[in-house]
């Protein structure tokens, strides 16, 4: 095959149907691929690793995950704040005082019931039926009013008790062996409610005591706590015994014996109310002093 230039045009004498002549290779116009980027090393972080979506792949670029976030300090759990128990203590002082007076009046009713039953045993003709009906009605009304009064007092007392327990947790968390919730729940556990609240009260008393000026623990008498609890527990036990005896009494002799137990229970209730006021006000004052002046007592 030969080529003859004619008028600046290259003429081909190749046989018909032969392929066109090859042209010189042109340089490629495509951009060479970019080498992959090195992976980003993970960084330490306090939170669990979260799954981040990978970047969409682009021509010549490999897909790789987003870099790890910078470590941040873990948030601290919210602490329990000190809350003043003064308002609750004032309300308790009023309620306990009224409850104590009511229990004292109820003691007089029990004594009157005892005198009627004693007279009925000695001489049934000397006691009139109207007197028996009157004392029965008065006792029922007085018991009902006292029950409602003690219900209101108990609710406020439990709220105050939980408040000072929470404050004690702020003062000295290591002073307690029971969780703060037991300041409420312990009162509703049969039999355990004769011991667990006393444990919480004594530990709260200790936690609310200021330290000595040199930082050592001061020994503060827990006599107010112990006296209140012993009398209160005694009043609860005797009141339960009185309820059983009075409901099962069928004879004047049984009613007379039940009236004696009821009078003792009411007198213990009066004493428990007085000691409870002293305990509430003293513990509230101790917590206020520690919150205002710090954990160390003045020299």
Q: Is the dihedral of CA 209, 210, 212, 216 positive or negative?
A: positive
Q: In the chain, what are the domain boundaries?
A: 86-291
Side-chain half-sphere of 93: how many Cα atoms within 13 Å?
13
Would you give the DSSP letter of residue 297? -
**In the predicted structure, residue 280 carries a pLDDT above the cut 60:** yes
Residue 80: per-residue pLDDT: 63
**In the predicted structure, residue 187 carries a pLDDT above the cut 70:** yes
**In the predicted structure, residue 49 carries a pLDDT above the cut 50:** no
* Extended beta strands in 173-224, E state: none
Residue 299: per-residue pLDDT: 63
Band of the pLDDT at 202, cuts 50, 70, 90? Answer: very high
Tens digits of residue pLDDT in 217-238: 888 889 999 999 999 999 999 9
Mean of pLDDT values over 245-270: 93
Q: Is the dihedral of CA 160, 276, 180, 82 positive or negative?
A: positive
> Which has the minimum average pLDDT: 17-21, 127-131, 204-208, 277-281?
17-21
Residue 40: per-residue pLDDT: 59
Long-range pairs for 38-45: beta carbons < 8 A, 24 or more residues apart: 39/64, 40/64, 40/67, 40/68, 42/68, 43/67, 43/68, 43/69, 43/70, 43/71, 44/71, 45/69, 45/70, 45/71, 45/72
Instruction: Count the neighbouring beta carbons within 10 Å of the beta carbon of residue 236.
Output: 16
As a whole number of angstroms, the distance between CA 228 and CA 268 comes to 10
Band of the pLDDT at 133, cuts 50, 70, 90? Answer: confident
As a whole number of angstroms, the distance between CA 179 and CA 144 comes to 35
């Amino acid at each position: 095959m030969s080529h003859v230039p004619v008028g600046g045009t290259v003429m081909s004498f190749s046989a018909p149907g032969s392929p066109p002549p090859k042209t010189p290779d042109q340089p490629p116009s495509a951009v060479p691929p970019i080498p992959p980027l090195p992976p980003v090393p993970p960084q330490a972080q306090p939170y669990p690793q979260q799954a981040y979506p990978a970047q969409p792949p682009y021509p010549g670029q490999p897909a790789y995950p987003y870099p790890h976030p910078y470590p941040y300090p873990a948030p601290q759990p919210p602490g329990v704040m000190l809350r003043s128990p003064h308002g609750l203590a004032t309300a308790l002082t009023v309620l306990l005082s009224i409850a104590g007076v009511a229990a004292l009046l109820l003691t007089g009713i029990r004594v009157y019931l005892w005198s009627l039953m004693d007279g009925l045993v000695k001489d049934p003709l000397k006691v009139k039926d109207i007197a028996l009906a009157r004392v029965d009605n008065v006792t029922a009304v007085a018991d009902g009013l006292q029950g409602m009064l003690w219900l209101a007092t108990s609710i406020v007392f439990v709220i105050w008790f939980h408040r000072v327990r929470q404050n004690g947790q702020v003062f000295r968390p290591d002073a307690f062996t029971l969780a703060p919730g037991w300041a409420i729940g312990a009162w509703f556990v049969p039999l355990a409610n004769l011991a667990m609240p006393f444990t919480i009260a004594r530990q709260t008393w200790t936690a609310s005591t200021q330290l000595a000026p040199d930082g050592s623990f001061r020994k503060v008498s827990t006599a107010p706590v112990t006296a209140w609890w012993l009398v209160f527990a005694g009043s609860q036990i005797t009141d339960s015994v009185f309820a059983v005896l009075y409901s099962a009494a069928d004879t004047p002799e049984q009613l007379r014996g039940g009236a004696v137990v009821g009078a003792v229970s009411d007198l213990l209730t009066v004493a428990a109310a007085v000691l409870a006021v002293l305990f509430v006000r003293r513990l509230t004052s101790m917590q206020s002093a520690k919150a205002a002046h710090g954990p160390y007592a003045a020299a």
